[in-house]
Structure 1
Amino acid sequence: MKHSFPLWCCGLAFFAFQNCTQQKQETVSNLPKKLIDPANMDTTYKPGDDFFHYANGVWLKNNPVPAKETRWGSFNELIEFNAKAVKDILEGAATNTENKPGSAEKRVGDFFVSAMDSVKIDSIGNAPIKEDLARIKAIKDINGLVKEIAFQHVNGVASPLYRFGVDQDEKNTSANIAQFGQGGLTLPDRDYYLIDNARNRDIKQAYETYVQKLFTLAGTDDTETVDKFKQIWTIEKALAEAQWSRIDMRDPYRTYNKLTSTSLQKSAPQLQWIETFKWLKVPQADSVIVNNPGFFTAAAKLLKDQTIDEWKTYLQWNVLKNAAPNLSTPFVNASFAFTQALTGQKAMTPRWQRSFRIIDQSVGDLLGQLYVSKYFKPEAKKRMLELVKNLSNTYEERIKTLDWMSDTTKKKAIEKLHAFTSKIGYPDQWKSYDGLEIDREDYFGNIRRANIWDYNDMINQLGKPVDHSRWGMTPPTVNAYYNPVNNEIAFPAGILQFPFFDFSADDAVNYGGIGAVIGHEMTHGFDDQGRQYAADGNLKDWWTKEDADNFKALANKVVEQYNGYTVLDTLHVQGKLTLGENLADLGGLAMAYAAFKKTPQGQSDEKIDGFTPDQRFFLSWAQVWRMNITPETAAQLITVDPHSPADARTIGPLVNMDAWYKAFDVKPGDKLYKPENERIRVW
C-alpha cells in the first residue's frame, strides 16, 4: 500500500494492474533475429482493413494469455523477461552471507527471504492483524471511528474512506500541501455499485463471497458474515453515489478546491478535521486541497447515519482486504479467487514474482540501485537524451506551423516545451530508507514498516522546498510518464529495451518505438489536461479563448473517433475518459515520424527484410501494442482505464496520418480509410 497521494501523471502503459518490472540491457543476443519479423504478421489481412491483425495476427494466434496473466503483449513479454533478471538479483542478495549490515543488498535480500518463507507465514495465520481487529472492535463512538480511519492511513494498515497525501499545490507548485480525495471503495470504480447489469451482478456476488470468506478466516461466525457484507455494501454504495465519475475527475479546475480547516469543519463536522489533521501528522494545515468537497459532506453524514457497529465492520474489512494477499495461504487463495472474478486470471502469479513486486513497491530505490548497477548502460541515457532533443526540436517546428493556433499562444506553447525537464533511467539521488527495519523473519511486519516509512517520508515534505529529483516510478518499471506540476517527462530504465529501444535497431524501429513513447509523454503536456498547466507547472490559463475553442473542437473529433471503437462486440471505448492518452498517441506518433524523416534512413527508400523505412516505422509502432487480453479484464479496463484498448491504440493514430496511407497503399474502399479532409491533426 502506497500512502502518498498519487502523482498527477500520465503513464504510457497499463493503468490497471501495472506491475513494476525489470529490464536487462546486456541482451542483444536474445533479441529476435528480425526486429520486424514477417513471421508475426498475418498478411491475409489487408493493412487498410485491419492493420492491428495485419501487423500482429500470427503473433496473436501463437501467444494466448498465460494462465498467470490477465493479458499478454509486448509489455508483458518485457515484464516477464526482466522479472527473471531481477529474480537473480534477489536470490543472490538473499544467499550472500557477506552482505554488509544496512547495505541495499542485505536489506533487499532479507526482505526477499521473509517474503519467500511460506512455511513461517502460514504458521502464524492471521496473527499479524489480530491487534488491528481487536482495536477496531473496542471502538465506542464516532470519535473512535474517525481516529481509527486516520490511524490506518498513518500506520500502513489501509486507506479507508478517503485518499490522503502530500503533493505539490497545482496553483503554487513551489509548495507542498496536504490533499484529500474521494475514496473508500473496494470494487475498481463507482460504476460497479451504480450500474445494474449482469456483469456487475456477478462481480457483486464474487465480492460477497470474498467478504464472507475473509471474515470467516478471521474468526467470525458464519451466520454473521452475511450481515457483514450487507453493512459493507451499504456504506460503499453510498460512498460511490457521492463520488464524481472518472471523466469528471479529469477536470483539474473542478478538482482543485483549496479549503480552510474552518470551512471543512463546517461542511463535514463528523470528520473532526482539527483532530484528524493532528492524527494524520499535519497539525499546522490551515488549508488543504480537496478534489470533491461534496464527497466529504456525504461521508460525514454517513458517519452519523450508519451505526457504530456497521462502521466497525467496514474498518475491519479494510484491514482484512489489504492484508489478505500477504497473510497465510487461505487468505491469499481467497484474495486470488476475487481477483479471478474481476480479471479472468486463471492461475496465481508465482510467489517469487509477487514477492519482488512487493519489494519494488516497498523499497524500490534499494532494489533500483542493485538493478541499475548491473543492467543499465550509461550509453542508453546518452542516446535517450539525443532522441528527446530531436523530438523536442520537431515539436517546436510543428507548433510553429499549426494553422489553428495564434502566434500569441504558440509563443507560450514553445516556452512550455523549452521548460520540459527529462528524467532518464533512475534518480540522481536515492532514498536511503534510514530508520526502516527489515527483518528476515517478519514479512508482514516489513511491509507495514515500509508503509509507515513511506508515509512519514511523504509528510516530511510539508514545509520544505519541493524536491524535483523525486520520481513517480521506480527504475525497473516498464512504463513512462509526464508530470505537469513539474513539467517533466520520465523514462525509467525498465522501458529502454526492445521493442521500444535497442542500440542494434535501425532508426525506423527505434523511432516507431521509443520515439513514439517520447512524443507521447511530451504531448501529455499539451493534451486536454496537460495544456491547462503553464511552463512553470502551475495550473493557469495561458491560451487565448479562440485558440482554446479551436483545440476543444479538434479534441471532440478525437472523442468521437474513439467512441466508435468497441471491445467484446458491444462495449464502447469511452472517448472522453481516454482522450488524454489518445491525444498523446496521436501527437506522439506524428512527432516521432516527423523526427524520423530527418534521419538518413527516413530519407531513403532502402528496404530491410522486404519493408521500406516508413513501413518499418509503422510496423514497429504496431508491434509495441500487440496484445491478447481476457474478456473480464477487457470489460474492466473500459470502465477504469484512461488508455484505449490495444487495437484502438494501434489504429487510432494511423488513420489520421497521410504517410501511413502512402506506406501501405491504403485507398478508398478499405475499411480503415478516412478521407483526407477528415483526418485529425492536433499537434
Structure 2
Amino acid sequence: MSLSSKRGLRAIRNALLVAASAPLALSASANAETAATDGSVRFGSWGVDLASRDSKANPGDDFERFASGAWMDATEIPADKPSNSVGSEVNDRNQDRLQKIVTSSSKDSQLGALYSSWMDEARLEQLDAAPLKADLDEISAIKTKAQFTSKMVDSFSDFGSTLFALGVLPDPANPTINIAFAGTSGLGLPDRDYYLLDKYKPQRDAYRAYIQRTLELTQTPNASAAADTILAFETEIAKLSWTQADLRNLDKLNNPMTPAELAAYAPGIDWNRYLAELKISTPKIVVGDNTAVKALAALYDATPLETLKLWQRFKVTNQASDYLSKRFVDNKFQFTKTLTGASTLRPRWRRGIDQIDGRLGEVLGQTYVQQYFSPQSKAMMEQLVTNLKAAAAIRIKGNSWMEDATKQAALAKLDRMDVMVGYPDKFRDYSKLEMKADDLYGNVKRSSAFEWDYTLSDLNQPVDRKKWAMSPATVNAYNGGLENKIVFPAGILQPPYFDPQADAAVNYGAIGAVIGHEIMHGFDDQGRKIDASGAIRDWWTPADGERFKKLTDELGKQYASYEAAPGVFINPDLTMGENIGDMSGLEVAYEAYKISLGGKPSPVIDGLTGDQRFFLAFAQAWRGEQRPDAIKTQVASDPHSPRRYRVIGPLRNLDAWYAAFNVQPGTKFYIPPEKRVRIW
C-alpha cells in the first residue's frame, strides 16, 4: 500500500517534507522554440517565449495572460490530462527519455522485466481476475477482529488498506534519530469534505457507483447493498477525520507517546499485536492526528467484522486494478476521471514508465543523469543555490519587523541548510528485489514489500540526511523539514526552468524562484517552528511570533478572495505555507539576480529590461491550464494554490514588479504600497 493512500501519515510527511509541486509544461508556439542537442526545448534565443505573450493584456489586470495569453488561447488540455502546464510537458519529455533507457535494457534486467510485465497486455487479459483470487479468499476466511488486524498489517507491504498508518521519520525532539509516526487512513476520496459537503455530491455518487461496479467484478453478493455499507463506513471515518488545514499544523501533529500510552489512549485495536506484526519496536511513537486516531480505534471496535471485510475486499481490488485486465483498469478510470476531468486514459507505456520511476527510481535515475544532466549544469546550479542562500540571508538581516535574537537563529538555520542537486551521492541498492517479465502482479507485491523493509531499516537508526525522497528524474523539488535540507532532482533542471545557455534573469526568475521557494519553506508558518538542528521548538521571541501572525493573516485575506473555479475559493489555512514559499521565494530569487549582476546594470534584450525578463520567466514557468474538476480536487486537498494564483499572488506584493511594468492604481490586482504584505 503506497504511503500516498495513508491520509493522516501522508499529511504528517507533507508538513515535514514540503514539495514545490513544480508546474509539471512546455508546449509553446513552434516558431518560439528550438530543439537543443540533448532533446530539450529552448525558448527563443535567451529563454523566454516572446510569441506566447498577449500584448493586449494589462500586466496589472492579468499578468498570467500578459506573459502567456497567446499560448493559453492556442493550447488545449490533452484529453488524458487534468491540466497542461510547463511541468507536465517537461515530465512527458522526461518520460520519452526514460522509455529509451528502459526499452534498451535487457528483458532480464529489473527495468526490462518490470516494463515487459506491464506492457504484456495479452497475458493480463488471459489472467483477468485470477491474480486477485488468493487475496480475496484470504479476506473471506477471516473469522475474528484479530485476524483482520493482521490483514491491515499486510497492507503495508501488499494490496489492501489500513485504518492506522505508520511510517518512519526523524524524531521532532531529536532529529538525529528516526522514530515511528502514526496517523489515520481509510478514505477513498481525496478528502473528508468529499463525503460531507453537498458540492462534492457528483464525485461522491461516482465513487459509490465505482464501489458497486468493483464488487460486481469480483462476484461479491448483493453488491449494491455492500457499496452502501462501505460508503457509510468511510463517511463515519470522514466525520472523525481532521481537516487538511489541521493536518499541516506541526503544533497539533507533534504528539509523542510510548506504545503503552498509545494502547491506553486509543483502545479498540490491539496495538501490541499491530505494532509487533509490523515489526515496529520503538520506545516512542509520534501520533499525528491523535484525536482522530482515538476516535477511529473506537469506530473500529464498534464496526461489524463483515463490514470491515467488505471494505477490505473493495480496497484490495481497487489497489490491484491497475495491474489486472482492461476491464478492471477501465472501471477504475471511469471513477478517477470525475476527480480530474480527463476523458481519456493516459497511454499505457506512459503509465508504465511512471511505475518504473516510482519503484526503481534510483536504478533508472543513474542512467538518466549520465545521459541528460551534465557536470556543467550541476556546477551552475550549485552556484545559483549559493547566491540564493546569500540573498535569503540579506532578506533576513534586512527584515524590519524582526528582533535580532530571532534573526540570528534564522540565519543559523539558513547556514546549516543542506542543498542537494541532481542526484544522490550514493544510489540505493535494489539487488534483493526480484522482478519477473511474466508476473506484474507479483512484481508489484515484491516491490511494496521491498519498500516497507527499506522504510523499517531506518527505524531507531541515525537519520541519513543524504537519502532522497524523490527520484533523480522527478520534475519537482522539496524541502526536507526535520532534516533541514532542500533537494533539486535533475528532472526539473532543464528548460524552461534552468538552461545553462539562457539569460541570467531567466534562470533566476524560473529555477531561482523554485530554489527560493524551497529555502523559504524553512521560514514559513510551519517551517518557522523547526530550528537549525531540525527539532520542533519555538525559537522566536513572542513579539516576533505575534508580528509574523499579523502578516500571514493579511496574506491569507488576499488568497481567500481568489475564486479558483466557480464557487471554489482558496483556503488560506491550507495553503499558507506554500503561499509564503511562493512570495518569499520570488523575493529571494530577485535579490539573488541582483547579486549575480555584480553591481553592473543588466542589459536590455529584445526591448526588455532585466527585471522584465526575470518576471516574465517566472510567470512562464508557471503557465498552464487546469480543468475545473482538477481545480476543485486541488483546492480541497492540496496545500498548493492553483497555478494562476502562484503567479498573481506573489507578484502583487512585490514593489519591483510594479516598477518593471508600470502597474498603476485602478488595475485589478494593484495593491497600495502600504498594504502590500512583506514577510521576508
TM-score when normalising by structure 1? 0.94
Q: Give the whole-Å Cα distance in 2 for the aligned partners of 1:276 and 1:395.
A: 45
Equivalent in the alignment of 1:20: none
Letter matched to residue 325 of structure 1: D
Equivalent in the alignment of 2:31: none
Alignment of 1:399-478 (within 5 A): 399-478=396-475
Equivalent in the alignment of 2:217: 217
Equivalent in the alignment of 2:20: 12
Aligned pair 1:609/2:609, yes or no?
no
Aligned pair 1:192/2:203, yes or no?
no
Asked whether the 8 Å contact 1:94–1:112 carries over to 2, the reply is no
Aligned pair 1:553/2:550, yes or no?
yes
Letter matched to residue 596 of structure 2: T
**Residue 494 of structure 2 aligns to a residue in which SS?**
coil
Alignment of 1:229-308 (within 5 A): 229-282=227-280, 284-308=281-305
Deviations, residues 421-471 of structure 1 (Å, cap 9, x unaligned): 001011111111232111111111111101100001111112322111111
Change (3 A) 1:338 1:629: same
Asked whether the 8 Å contact 1:260–1:286 carries over to 2, the reply is yes
Pick the aligned partner of 1:142 from 129, 145, 155: 145
Equivalent in the alignment of 1:165: 167
Deviations, residues 597-656 of structure 1 (Å, cap 9, x unaligned): 123398425321221111000000000111111111011111111111111110111111
What's the offset of the Cα at 1:59? 0.5
Letter matched to residue 630 of structure 1: R
Letter matched to residue 92 of structure 1: S
Letter matched to residue 97 of structure 2: A
Query: What is the identity percentage for the equivalent residue pairs of Structure 1 and Structure 2?
Result: 37
**Residue 598 of structure 1 aligns to a residue in which SS?**
helix
What's the offset of the Cα at 1:474? 0.6
Change (3 A) 1:375 1:26: farther
What's the offset of the Cα at 1:26? 4.8
Deviations, residues 546-594 of structure 1 (Å, cap 9, x unaligned): 0111111111111111111112232111111111011011111111111
Pick the aligned partner of 1:52 from 26, 51, 64: 64
**Residue 666 of structure 1 aligns to a residue in which SS?**
coil
What's the offset of the Cα at 1:76? 1.2
Pick the aligned partner of 1:182 from 175, 181, 184: 184
Q: Give the whole-Å Cα distance in 2 for the aligned partners of 1:174 and 1:372.
A: 30
Pick the aligned partner of 2:368 from 359, 367, 371: 371
Pick the aligned partner of 2:78 from 63, 66, 69: 66
Q: Give the whole-Å Cα distance in 1 for the aligned partners of 2:452 and 2:302.
A: 31
Equivalent in the alignment of 2:42: 31
Letter matched to residue 269 of structure 2: L
Asked whether the 8 Å contact 2:282–2:460 carries over to 1, the reply is no
Asked whether the 8 Å contact 2:406–2:540 carries over to 1, the reply is yes
Equivalent in the alignment of 1:42: 54
Asked whether the 8 Å contact 1:142–1:270 carries over to 2, the reply is no
Change (3 A) 1:529 1:414: same
Change (3 A) 1:26 1:177: farther
Deviations, residues 501-520 of structure 1 (Å, cap 9, x unaligned): 00110011000011111111
Asked whether the 8 Å contact 2:81–2:340 carries over to 1, the reply is no
Equivalent in the alignment of 2:659: 662
Q: Give the whole-Å Cα distance in 1 for the aligned partners of 2:352 and 2:542.
A: 51
Equivalent in the alignment of 2:567: 570
Q: Give the whole-Å Cα distance in 1 for the aligned partners of 2:620 and 2:493.
A: 16
Equivalent in the alignment of 1:332: 329
**Residue 578 of structure 1 aligns to a residue in which SS?**
helix
What's the offset of the Cα at 1:14? 5.7
Q: Give the whole-Å Cα distance in 2 for the aligned partners of 1:511 and 1:405.
A: 27
Letter matched to residue 243 of structure 2: S
What's the offset of the Cα at 1:70? 0.6
Q: Give the whole-Å Cα distance in 2 for the aligned partners of 1:306 and 1:29.
A: 55
Q: Give the whole-Å Cα distance in 1 for the aligned partners of 2:71 and 2:595.
A: 31
What's the offset of the Cα at 1:191? 0.5
**Residue 96 of structure 2 aligns to a residue in which SS?**
helix
What's the offset of the Cα at 1:393? 1.0
Q: Give the whole-Å Cα distance in 1 for the aligned partners of 2:58 and 2:496.
A: 23
**Residue 429 of structure 2 aligns to a residue in which SS?**
coil
Asked whether the 8 Å contact 2:18–2:481 carries over to 1, the reply is no
Equivalent in the alignment of 1:113: 116
Asked whether the 8 Å contact 1:343–1:630 carries over to 2, the reply is yes
**Residue 253 of structure 1 aligns to a residue in which SS?**
helix
Pick the aligned partner of 2:103 from 85, 91, 100: 91
What's the offset of the Cα at 1:156? 2.0
Q: Give the whole-Å Cα distance in 2 for the aligned partners of 1:268 and 1:232.
A: 23
**Residue 461 of structure 2 aligns to a residue in which SS?**
coil
Q: Give the whole-Å Cα distance in 1 for the aligned partners of 2:500 and 2:195.
A: 49
Deviations, residues 207-266 of structure 1 (Å, cap 9, x unaligned): 122111111111224xx1111111111211111111110111121121111112222222
Change (3 A) 1:68 1:601: farther
What's the offset of the Cα at 1:29? 7.2
Q: Which runs of 5+ in 1 are unaligned?
A: 17-23, 96-100
Asked whether the 8 Å contact 2:44–2:50 carries over to 1, the reply is no
Asked whether the 8 Å contact 1:160–1:318 carries over to 2, the reply is no
Change (3 A) 1:14 1:495: closer
What's the offset of the Cα at 1:15? 10
Change (3 A) 1:178 1:162: same
Asked whether the 8 Å contact 1:3–1:451 carries over to 2, the reply is no
Q: Which runs of 5+ in 2 are unaligned?
A: 25-34
Letter matched to residue 79 of structure 2: A
What's the offset of the Cα at 1:62? 1.2
Change (3 A) 1:214 1:163: same
What's the offset of the Cα at 1:412? 0.5
Q: Give the whole-Å Cα distance in 2 for the aligned partners of 1:15 and 1:176.
A: 32
Letter matched to residue 207 of structure 1: Y
Letter matched to residue 510 of structure 1: N
Pick the aligned partner of 1:77 from 82, 89, 92: 89
Moved more, 234-243 or 598-607: 598-607
Q: Across the two proteins, how many residue pairs are aligned to each other?
A: 661
Change (3 A) 1:146 1:546: same
Aligned pair 1:2/2:2, yes or no?
yes
Q: Give the whole-Å Cα distance in 2 for the aligned partners of 1:429 and 1:606.
A: 41
Asked whether the 8 Å contact 1:605–1:612 carries over to 2, the reply is yes
Deviations, residues 137-157 of structure 1 (Å, cap 9, x unaligned): 11112111111111222x322
Letter matched to residue 163 of structure 1: A
Asked whether the 8 Å contact 1:655–1:679 carries over to 2, the reply is yes
Change (3 A) 1:181 1:358: same
Asked whether the 8 Å contact 2:38–2:372 carries over to 1, the reply is no
Equivalent in the alignment of 2:32: none
**Residue 669 of structure 1 aligns to a residue in which SS?**
coil
Asked whether the 8 Å contact 1:15–1:642 carries over to 2, the reply is no
Deviations, residues 286-326 of structure 1 (Å, cap 9, x unaligned): 33111122222222222232211111001111101111112
Q: Give the whole-Å Cα distance in 2 for the aligned partners of 1:574 and 1:408.
A: 32
**Residue 274 of structure 1 aligns to a residue in which SS?**
helix
Asked whether the 8 Å contact 1:25–1:375 carries over to 2, the reply is no
